[in-house]
Amino acid sequence: MSKRNDWSAYLKYAFHNWYNYIAMGLTVGLALILKQEGIIYMGAAAELLYLYMCVSNPRYQRHVDSLLAKEDELDIEPLRLQLWPLINSELKLRYGKLAALTQKLDQKDVAAVIKRDPFFMENQRKIAVLLANYLKITVAVTRYQSYLADVDPAEIEENIKRLEKEIPEANERVKSIKLKNVEVLQKRMEKLIKTKANCEYLLAQMETIEDTMKLVIDQAITLSDPKGMGLQIDTLLLNLQETELVAAEMESFTELEQGLSDEIFPLEREE
């Protein structure tokens, strides 16, 4: 299997290792105590051999790959930069407040012993995943709100009633066209109702994420019930799977954004 990262990444992790630092320190210290310059050369040779074995070891590569993957999960800035132009200003403000809240986990007032706790580190990763999900939801909500702002349901309903009133008095050829127009408008009204419901659902999920994030971050800082906190996040992440499906539904509404209007089909010209 090909390496996921460049060899320099594996070299960096192999060198910047506390065990490696200790070994180099002992080598230098021993050379100074015994005043033997040769120990330095032997240590350097051993260091080069150690680095080569680490960089070329597939198992070590997989270990470093997993560490780098976790770091990537914590860094959602590339995702933010990609999605930022697609989010409206109001939702940008809400995201900014939530992102500022998560930064509390990196502040100096969080004790070092807490940062080393395995539950804290895992929950920190989960919080980053939550923040990334929140960011994706804001894009979907922006699209839903943009569509809803451009459509007047009252106008659609008025056109449906007008056409239904005209149908009984129309001849068969005209009646057929008007019936098709009513069908189109009713279909559009159904999608409008579903769009509004989806938007409200996503907004409710955003509020749930905000409330959960406030709670779990407070618990993460104080390290109170970290295991229970992790379960809370896992439950929310599981629920967000349905949210992703709802957010993706806007993709199936492309006709709403590509010109499906309230205009009726034109009547064929009589010869």
Residue with the larger pLDDT of the pair 139 and 18: 139
pTM: 0.61
Write down the H helix ranges in the chain.
Answer: 7-15, 18-34, 37-55, 58-74, 77-83, 89-102, 112-115, 118-149, 153-166, 172-222, 226-248, 254-257
Average pLDDT, the chain: 76
Residue 270 pLDDT: 41
Average pLDDT of the segment spanning 75-101: 89
Q: How far is CA 159 from CA 13, 44, 136, in A?
A: 67, 84, 36
- Summarize pLDDT for 134-180 with one digit per residue, the tens: 888 899 899 889 888 888 889 889 988 998 888 888 888 888 888 88
pLDDT tens digits for range 230-251: 666 666 666 666 666 666 665 5
Look at the block and give the residue holding tokens 């449906």: 160
Tens digits of per-residue pLDDT, 32-82?
Answer: 888 888 888 888 888 888 888 888 888 877 777 776 666 565 567 888 888
The whole-angstrom separation of Cα 142 and Cα 203 is 10
**Cα distance from N-terminal residue to C-terminal residue, the chain:** 72
Give the C-alpha separation, 252 to 262, whole Å.
19
